[in-house]
Each structure stands twice: as C-alpha cells, then as structure tokens.
Amino acid sequence: PDGAARAAAEARNGQLTKPPGALGRLEDLGIWYAGWRGDARAQVTSPQVIVFAANHGVAARGVSAFPAEVTAQMVANFRAGGAAVNQLARTFGARMDVHSIELERPTADFTTGPAMTEAEVVAALAIGWNAVDPASDLLVAGEMGIGNTTSAAALAHALFGAAPTDWVGRGTGVDDAGLALKARVVGEGLAANPGAAHDPLEALRCLGGRELAAVAGAIARARQLSIPVVLDGFICTSAAAVLERAAPGALDHAVAGHVSAEPGHPRLLAALDKTPLLSLGMRLGEGSGAALAVAVVQAAAACLSGMATFAEAGVSDG
Amino acid sequence: PDGAARAAAEARNGQLTKPPGALGRLEDLGIWYAGWRGDARAQVTSPQVIVFAANHGVAARGVSAFPAEVTAQMVANFRAGGAAVNQLARTFGARMDVHSIELERPTADFTTGPAMTEAEVVAALAIGWNAVDPASDLLVAGEMGIGNTTSAAALAHALFGAAPTDWVGRGTGVDDAGLALKARVVGEGLAANPGAAHDPLEALRCLGGRELAAVAGAIARARQLSIPVVLDGFICTSAAAVLERAAPGALDHAVAGHVSAEPGHPRLLAALDKTPLLSLGMRLGEGSGAALAVAVVQAAAACLSGMATFAEAGVSDG
C-alpha cells in the first residue's frame, strides 16, 4: 500500500463532518481502500467479479448433494445472467466474467493421490492471474465446482491442522451420512498426500482444484496491480489462505466480505485474522457474499472521498 | 402485506438456481419485500431517504459533545450534499430529502415538563407523514438534532422500563461525567412526565422531539402506502418503537438496517424482536446505517426477482 496516500486518507477522515469514529468499520475500510489505491479520495467505480468453474474427481465419492453436471449447467446460467451472483454484480455495477476451466477434465480424486500435476496447477493459477482486468479497482474471485467444499476442507485441514470434522460442512446440502463421508474423505486426502501438510502450494496442487488455483492466482495478481480484494466464503477463503501461508501478509490487500454459514468458514477467517463485513447466513459461493460486500466498500470509499470537512461545511467541531 | 404475492414469492424462491436456503437472510428479506410490495418479482428502484432535523431544549443541560448550533450547520451540509448520508444515498441511487423543523424553536426541556404541546407533536407527526413520496418503494427516515440521544433514551425508558443507565450512551462523544449526566437527565425526564410511562404517544410528546415525531409519522405513512422501511439506529428506532407500543405489529413493514454502537440500540432491537442486517459499529444517525442497508434490500429483491429457476436454466435440481 501507499503510505502517503494512507496517511492522507487518515488525516482527511479525521476532518470529515461526523463525530470521530461514528462511521465505525466504514472508516477503517475507506482508509484501507485509499491506501491500496494510492489515492486518499479513491472511489470504487470499476469492480470486477470473476467466477471460475472446474470439476473435481473427488465428487465421484458422493460428497455433494448435486451431480457433477451441475457445474457446466451453472456456467451456462452465469453466462445467461441467471445466477445470484449475476443479480448482485448488476445491482452494484460490477463487471462480471466467467472462466470455465476444462470441465470435461475433472481433477484426480485426491484420496488416491495428487488432484493435479505441477503443469495443471500452474496452468490454473495462470488462468486466474490473467483474468484480472488491470483497469478494475476492486476484485471478487468467486467459484463454482460440484464437490469443492470437500476440496476446500481438505486444503484448510492441510494448511491449519485441526480435525477433518472441524472443516467440513453440509455444502449444498448433504445429510448426516454425507457429512461423515466428507470428513472421512478429507482425512484420506491428507493421508494420500502427506507433502500437502508442509507446503501450501503443494497443498493447493494435491488437494485443491483448478477453480481454487485460479482464485489464488487472481488474488495474487490483484496484489501486484494494487487492486483490493473482497474475499467470498469458505472455498474462496481456503484458496486465498494458500497465499497467506506461503507468504504472510499476502492477503493484506484483501478484506473478508462475509462469513458463510458453512461451519469451516468462521474458523478459517479466525486463522487468517480477518473480521467479516457481513454475516447474513449466506452459503452459496459463486462470489455472491463478496459481491454483496462490494456495496460496503463502495459506501466506505464514497464517504471518505465525498464528505465535506468541518471547515468546508462550516460545522462546529465538537 | 399481500398474502398472495408473498406466497408467490416463496414459491418462486424455492425454484431458483441455488441450494435451498443458500442465500440465507437475503431469501426471507426478498420474500418480505415482495409481500409488502404486492409483487413476487418486486425490485427496489426508487428508495427515498428523508432526514428530519430539530432542536431539543434538553441540550441546554449539556448532554451533548457538540453545541446546538450544529443542527442547523448539518442541515446546510445535508442540503449541500456533504454529509455521510448524502454519499450513501447517492451510492445506492436513493432520492434524498431534508426537512428542517423549526430549528429556531427548540422543544421545552423535558426535565421541567412536556417537550411539546399536543399541537406541536401533531404538527411534527404530520410533517413526517407528508414527507413520504408515494412513488417510492423503500423508506429510510433519518434524523439530526443535537441532544437527541438523550431524548431517545428517555423515550426508550418510558416505553420499555429498565434503568436510565441501560439506555444512555456516549452519543456524539460525551465523557464519563457526561454519560452520568445523561442518565440523571433521563430519570428526571420521566419523573417530570409521569404520564409518559403509560401511553406511547404521550411519551413521544413529553420526551421526544420534533424530528422523532416526524420519523414516527413517516414510518406510519409508509405503512399506509405499503412502502417497506429500513430502520436506522437508536434514535430512529426509539421513534419507531412508539408506533409498535401503540399498536403491536405496526412495524411489521420495517426491518432493522443495522445495530448501532450506541449501547441502547441492541436492547431496543431485542425489545422489538428485530434482527439487524448489518453490524459495522456505526453510530452517526442521519439515516446513515439504514441507507447502507438499502443495498442489502436491493440485493435481496434483485436475486428473488432476477434469478433463473432450475427449469428456466436447465440446471439439475439436487
């Protein structure tokens, strides 16, 4: 971030026509945004929502309430503008892009070995990297992939330890037996890929998926471009966590958009020391929670950039 | 609300391309909005933010960190577009109106008798009633008035009992001595106006203020027009609570936009059985928290009205 812009934003915030601190979290958020954008009066005018979609070999283990063909069907729905994230992106003026990554070629089942080869994970990271529009000023990286809450749970388990049961949840809606199966599959995943416990990028390759790698690649690219990021739910955050574990501070340009109803998400956010902006019981993925939180960042930047100072408005300062 | 529209909205929600319940609170919110608008696919296209401003005799007791002339200065700031609520209204496409109510004539100090005469409170209620644009489709009623957290605390104390210390907070920023003074003044207020404890509208007249009465009038008018309301913070909610205590169910068309950092607000929301949409530590008033929450209602309505169904999108349904 730009220290001078951040300092100028802090100074400006202290002069705006409101009691000190009265905008609560919006004040810190606006200053954070200004610092990363290098402009004390930065506004959010060009947010970008990208949805990455891919398929998972582990879906064959029956870990999802929906069949694997739903990934491709939902990609068509994203392209036609019919999904939740489309409505949210449109409501808040975000550009939306969809990247469907080799849906006909699922990753390998990670309970039998690595989900991806080195070449495959690098290709997926590059897709994410190249998907970010350098002209955008706020990024949401969403995902779609039947089976990917299981992949995210395995990734979180490798990155942060704890028990598989601490990281699994009902995803799109599995029953108690499905939930127990997911925990078993997560444990088998780490057992089959022991190197994943010691190297975050190896964890991404062995237990992640193409859309998770693309999310990580996009978030890394946003950092290089000084584009702030709004993290979505459990799956997006697990992919982002790879970056933070590989290089502490790698997510300083990212804010947690919301906390999902998927039970592993609050645990993951705590491990990353991120406090969510919203808590509305959402658990859809697609970038939907983050796309809604774009509104909060827009609001914070609008207040910091647009409000009058006490001097400008002729208001007595306390 | 329109039972048929609500039922149609519920049925539609169940067919949209997402796992059941995956949009969390947005789903109930969208259905609630559709029911009040009488349209299963209602969208929020014309929100209205109204800020009512007035002065309080009790300010002379030294209960605020800011001098009373700030009310008029902030009215000028609202009109010039420089306040926080202006930025928020603009960001989410809301029309904004400002009603300055006899600033040169503060209410009487309620520690010595009723704040308003019958004629005065009725006039203020009517200003609120007439301020609502019948063509709007979502209402935020905000307020500005130096001293009005003390008035709101006195009103909450009269309406819901408990101790004065349970309802007072630091407002725009009083110190510990100021906080103790506010509690004392609230206790004196109810002692000087014993009828306020037994009649909600009498409580509004004796302990409220012109802007609080206008907020109540606007919320009542919105009910008559089937315009859903987003409640703001402590002061707005205390005015709204008058309606609920006078006629249980009178706030069924209102949702709590946020929970304020002012400590009486969570207590007041609990008494009204309202769960806030946002919790961001805001405590500015002006309608600012509610204006931000307009974005959440817009999002909920956009998802319910705009998403494709499983059948429309050709997506397999679980």
Chunked in runs of 10, what are the mean pLDDT values of chain B (318 residues)? 96 97 98 98 98 97 93 97 98 98 98 98 98 98 97 98 96 92 97 97 98 98 98 98 98 98 97 98 98 98 98 87
Chunked in runs of 10, what are the mean pLDDT values of chain A (318 residues)? 96 97 98 98 98 97 93 98 98 98 98 98 98 98 97 98 96 92 97 97 98 98 98 98 98 98 97 98 98 98 98 87
pLDDT at position A11: 98
Q: Which of B70, B303, B315 sits opposite A70 (nearest CB)?
A: B315
pLDDT at position A212: 98
Hey, is the C-beta of B83 within 8 angstroms of any chain A C-beta? yes
Whether B284 and A18 lie within 8 Å, measured CB to CB: yes
To probe the interface with A, which of B88, B98, B258 has the most A CB atoms within 10 Å?
Answer: B88
To probe the interface with A, which of B143, B175, B316 has the most A CB atoms within 10 Å?
Answer: B316
Question: Torsions phi, psi of B294, nearest 5?
Answer: -55, -35
Hey, is the C-beta of B43 within 8 angstroms of any chain A C-beta? no
- How many pairs of residues across A and B have Cβ atoms under 8 Å apart? 191
Taking CA atoms, what residue in A is nearest to B67?
A318
Domains and CATH numbers, chain B: 3-41+305-313 (1.10.1610.10), 47-297 (3.40.50.10210)
Whether B70 and A315 lie within 8 Å, measured CB to CB: yes
Q: Which of A23, A73, A91 sits opposite B313 (nearest CB)?
A: A73
Hey, is the C-beta of B88 within 8 angstroms of any chain A C-beta? yes
Whether B84 and A283 lie within 8 Å, measured CB to CB: no
Q: Using an 8 Å Cβ cutoff, are A316 and B67 in contact?
A: yes
Each residue's pLDDT tens digit, B125-160:
999 999 999 999 999 999 999 999 999 999 999 999
Work out the minimum CA distance from A191 to partner chain B, whole angstroms.
30
